[in-house]
Amino acid sequence: MQLAERTWPELGDYVAEESVAMVPFGSTEQHGPHLPLATDALIAEALAREAADRTGFVCTPPVRITVSGHHRQFHGTMWVEPDVFRDYVESLTRNLTYHGVDRVVFVNAHGGNVPHLREVGGRLRRDRTAYAIEWMWDESIPRLVREVFAHNGPHGGPKETAMIQHIAPELVREGELESARDGGVLELTAEETRQFGARTYYDCADNSANGVFGDQTDATAEVGAELFEAASDQLVRLLEWLDDREFDELIPEPHVDPQPGSRRS
């Protein structure tokens, strides 16, 4: 169910029976010479829509401009500061709870959002407002991603290329796949990014001239379909698991017993 496509009475009927919602999170940032700036948003939205169609759980409109300041040197990238993003996400989630939702899955396709979505989820859980959990699509199927690509790459690599080839093939610049590989970084190793135990870079441009990593020529729409189906299955299972839990099971105990096993008179 797509929240924005429904009427308010229909949403009233939904929250009378259900308390689970999804919020898709992507980004608007460079993804090299071969992929659109909307790459992360397209992936998150497609996975959330698929899961909503398969389960009936409600999906909100997507959040497309997020924490992307580390890609700011590349034309077109848009971002908000992390504290602004966290406050926005918290306010948005509290809005859902006002209408009766108390379990939220942040359907995420941008690595820069991960710590901030988890921080917001922790805040909401601690004050017993909601159980909100961040779900990152490629982290749900790590073994498959490793198996299908020899040189994956954390950004603009073959996994994202294959997903867009499957979801929105008309947006992939197929003629730029080799230049993406040759102008980027094939392998991002610890030796290149750390010195004496310190992480020495802050921005994508510190490491990659064209903003991408991995071998994009390994990607195909067929592999993208395989990744999409596997990740969708994981998201559906997470939603069903969440729906089966009692709310109190998901909320932390106020304190551990200071004297476990003791009897009190």
List of domains in the chain: 3-249 (3.40.50.10310)
Residue at token pair 């994508």: 204
| pTM score, whole prediction | 0.94
| Six-digit token string for 155 | 């950004």
- The percent of residues in the chain predicted with pLDDT above 70, rounded, is 97
Which phi and psi (to 5°) does residue 28 adopt?
-125, 90
Distance CA 203, CA 37 (A): 17
* Residue 239 buriedness (CB in 10 A; 0-12 / 13-18 / 19+): buried
* 206 contact partners, CB below 8 Å, separation of at least 6: none
What is the C-alpha to C-alpha distance for residues 174 and 185, in angstroms, rounded to an integer? Answer: 18
Query: How large is the C-alpha radius of gyration of the chain?
Result: 20
pLDDT tens, residue order, the chain (265 aa): 999 999 999 999 999 999 999 999 999 999 999 999 999 999 999 999 999 999 999 999 999 999 999 999 999 999 999 999 999 999 999 999 999 999 999 999 999 999 999 999 999 999 999 999 999 999 999 999 999 999 998 899 999 999 999 999 999 999 999 999 999 998 877 667 888 889 888 999 999 999 999 999 999 999 999 999 999 999 999 999 999 999 999 998 888 877 776 665 4
- Residue 186 is encoded by which pair of tokens? 């094939």
What tokens were used for 57? Answer: 């759980």
Strands 20-25 and 194-195: unpaired
pLDDT digits (tens, 9 = 90+) for 3-20: 999 999 999 999 999 999
Task: Say whether 168 sits in a helix, a strand or coil.
Answer: coil
**Residue bearing tokens 């392998």:** 187
Residue 231 vs residues 98, 138, 142, 145, 226: alpha-carbon distances, Å: 30, 7, 10, 10, 9
The pLDDT assigned to 258 comes to 73
Q: What is the pLDDT, as a whole number, of residue 74?
A: 97
Q: What are phi and psi of 153, to 5 degrees?
A: 85, 135
Please, what sign has the CA dihedral across residues 7, 10, 12, 14?
Answer: negative
Residue 87 CA to residue 58 CA, distance in Å, equals 22
Q: Hey, what are 18's tokens?
A: 């259900």
Tokens of 134: 């961040």
Joined together, the tokens standing for residue 195 give 């010195």
Helices (H) and strands (E) in the chain, counts: 10, 6
